[in-house]
């Protein structure tokens, strides 16, 4: 930690420039460290000695010894209600149903070598396909979301014979070199040199405010779609359009017309539509898959994070059957290609979501989340807007509601204040407080989170009404 105090002003300025989320150093982090118990500080120091430092990661905030349900427990016994959870704890941490299924699988068949298959792998893939509307997909697995995005891009090239892909500025699709090429966030690209060619960026739905002075969703959608059409006409050779249907980090929800037009453009131009639902699928949006909110199907659907039930690293691509056209080459020649444990986790996760009716629960608790969020927004000028779908909500922190100027400093102070009170979440896009509670969250826990947030806003003397 001392070395962070020595960080040059220039480093800090650079980090502010690249700011996508909360920063690992700076005055808020420094203060946070000051209040940590000695034992925790020592462990954090040991962590720093052995891990490479990186933005939004190491050095870490705290040391945990347990994660269960919606809670993290740190090494001093402090509990955090975790509304971040890397967006993977849809069924809650250490879900006993998932853990038991994985343990059983571990004892029975723990690995499936390439060229062999097993019932559990067929079952997991089939369950994912059965959850789609058309059931017209084939599947590939990969341990990481980034790897799955890479496979999706390869499939699009092979299926269309075209190399170029349109993705969105400010987007994130993983941290590998191919994934950062299609991603639009500066913090992942800085100092990385040449990117994969043919990656063209379009205007994401969430950038509308800077570009057209309208708050009408249909107008914004038309504006963004017109630009995509312009790229297709002027660039040529576009094989795929890749986007998160709802961006997990700031939760802008485009209207149905946006998706309908995207689908139409792709159909008219022989372009594959790829949806990255890695952090948002599995019921979080109030539908099992996010795109089911918008009545369109992608040609390729990318899943990850919660797919492994918060226990096993697991991702997948679902590809429309007509694009199963690469049998003579290796698309996803990965060691954990039909992963026994991951597949057991997928089956148990889906069974648990169904058994506990978690998709419907996300919808209902989502309504409560929106009502509470709107009421909070009414009481606090510093909350410029809330955006919500299912059990995902973003609170946009602004200097005041008239100018809507983002207030990254306040967002960060609120984050640390809430962490001190035992509520963990993420700051995204510099000034968005983003909650992704698990789908097993209770109404009481949501109320607790709102109470903490309001208490901290008062402590920070934020701009109230």
Q: Which spans of this chain sit near ligand PLP (rule: CB under 6 A)?
A: 144-146, 149, 172-174, 244, 248, 276, 278-279, 304, 315
Sorted by sequence, the CB contacts under 8 Å of residue 275 that are 6+ apart come out as 243, 244, 245, 290, 291, 298, 300, 301, 302
Q: Measured from the CB atom, is 22 or 276 closer to ligand PLP? A: 276
Angle at 368 between CA 259 and CA 456, to 5 degrees: 105
The SS3 call for residue 384 is strand
Which residue, judged by CB position, is nearest to ligand PLP in the bound state?
145
Nearest Cα residue to 336 out of 128, 140, 125, 139 = 140
CB of 251 to ligand PLP, least distance (A): 12
CB of 258 to ligand PLP, least distance (A): 18
CB of 305 to ligand PLP, least distance (A): 6
283 sits in the region (left: phi over 0; alpha: psi -120 to 50; else beta) called: left
Q: Measured from the CB atom, is 315 or 344 closer to ligand PLP? A: 315
Q: Measured from the CB atom, is 276 or 396 closer to ligand PLP? A: 276
177 sits in the region (left: phi over 0; alpha: psi -120 to 50; else beta) called: alpha
Q: Measured from the CB atom, is 276 or 299 closer to ligand PLP? A: 276
Q: How far is Cα 298 from Cα 296, in angstroms, rounded to an integer?
A: 7
Q: Measured from the CB atom, is 244 or 299 closer to ligand PLP? A: 244
CB of 242 within 8 A of CB of 152? yes
Q: Measured from the CB atom, is 174 or 283 closer to ligand PLP? A: 174
334 sits in the region (left: phi over 0; alpha: psi -120 to 50; else beta) called: beta
Q: Measured from the CB atom, is 313 or 417 closer to ligand PLP? A: 313
Strands 272-276 and 423-424: unpaired
Query: Both ends of the chain: CA-CA distance in Å?
Result: 38
CB of 47 to ligand PLP, least distance (A): 20
CB of 268 to ligand PLP, least distance (A): 27
Q: How many helices (H) and strands (E) does the chain have?
A: 16, 15
CB of 87 to ligand PLP, least distance (A): 6
CB of 214 to ligand PLP, least distance (A): 27
Tokens of 281: 């699928």
Query: What's the Rg (C-alpha) of the chain?
Result: 22
CB of 40 to ligand PLP, least distance (A): 26
Q: Measured from the CB atom, is 303 or 411 closer to ligand PLP? A: 303
């Amino acid at each position: 930690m001392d070395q962070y105090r020595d960080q040059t002003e220039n480093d800090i300025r650079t980090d502010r420039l690249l700011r996508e989320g909360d920063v690992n150093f700076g005055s808020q982090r420094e203060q946070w460290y000051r209040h940590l118990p000695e034992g925790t500080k020592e462990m954090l120091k040991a962590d720093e000695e052995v891990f490479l430092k990186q933005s939004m990661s190491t050095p870490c905030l705290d040391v945990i010894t347990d994660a269960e349900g919606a809670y993290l427990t740190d090494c001093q016994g402090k509990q955090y209600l975790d509304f971040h959870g890397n967006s993977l704890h849809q069924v809650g941490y250490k879900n006993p149903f998932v853990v038991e299924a994985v343990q059983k699988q571990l004892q029975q068949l723990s690995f499936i070598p390439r060229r062999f298959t097993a019932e559990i792998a067929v079952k997991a893939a089939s369950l994912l396909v059965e959850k789609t509307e058309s059931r017209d997909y084939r599947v590939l697995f990969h341990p990481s979301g980034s790897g799955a995005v890479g496979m999706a891009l390869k499939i699009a090239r092979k299926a269309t014979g075209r190399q170029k892909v349109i993705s969105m500025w400010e987007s994130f699709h993983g941290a590998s070199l191919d994934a950062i090429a299609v991603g639009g966030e500066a913090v992942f690209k800085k100092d990385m040199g040449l990117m994969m060619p043919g990656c063209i960026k379009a205007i994401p739905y969430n950038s509308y405010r800077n570009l057209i002075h309208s708050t009408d969703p249909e107008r914004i959608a038309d504006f963004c779609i017109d630009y995509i059409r312009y790229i297709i006409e002027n660039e040529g050779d576009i094989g795929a359009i890749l986007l998160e249907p709802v961006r997990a980090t700031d939760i802008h929800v485009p209207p149905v017309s946006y998706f309908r037009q995207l689908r139409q453009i792709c159909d008219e131009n022989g372009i594959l539509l790829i949806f990255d639902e890695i952090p948002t699928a599995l019921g979080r949006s109030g539908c099992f898959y996010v795109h089911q909110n918008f009545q369109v199907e992608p040609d390729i659907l990318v899943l990850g994070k919660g797919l492994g039930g918060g226990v096993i690293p697991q991702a997948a691509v679902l590809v429309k059957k007509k694009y199963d056209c690469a049998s003579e080459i290796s698309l996803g020649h990965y060691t954990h290609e039909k992963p026994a444990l991951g597949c057991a986790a997928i089956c148990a996760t889906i069974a648990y979501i169904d058994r506990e009716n978690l998709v419907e629960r996300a919808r209902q608790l989502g309504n409560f989340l929106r009502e509470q969020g709107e009421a909070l927004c009414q009481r606090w000028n510093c909350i410029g807007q809330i955006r919500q779908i299912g059990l995902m909500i973003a609170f946009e922190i602004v200097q005041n509601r008239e100018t809507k100027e983002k207030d990254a400093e306040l967002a960060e102070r609120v984050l640390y204040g809430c962490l001190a009170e035992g509520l963990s979440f993420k700051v995204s896009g510099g000034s968005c407080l983003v909650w992704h509670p698990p789908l097993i969250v209770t109404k009481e826990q949501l109320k607790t989170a709102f109470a903490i947030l309001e208490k901290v806003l008062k402590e920070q003397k934020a701009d109230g009404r």
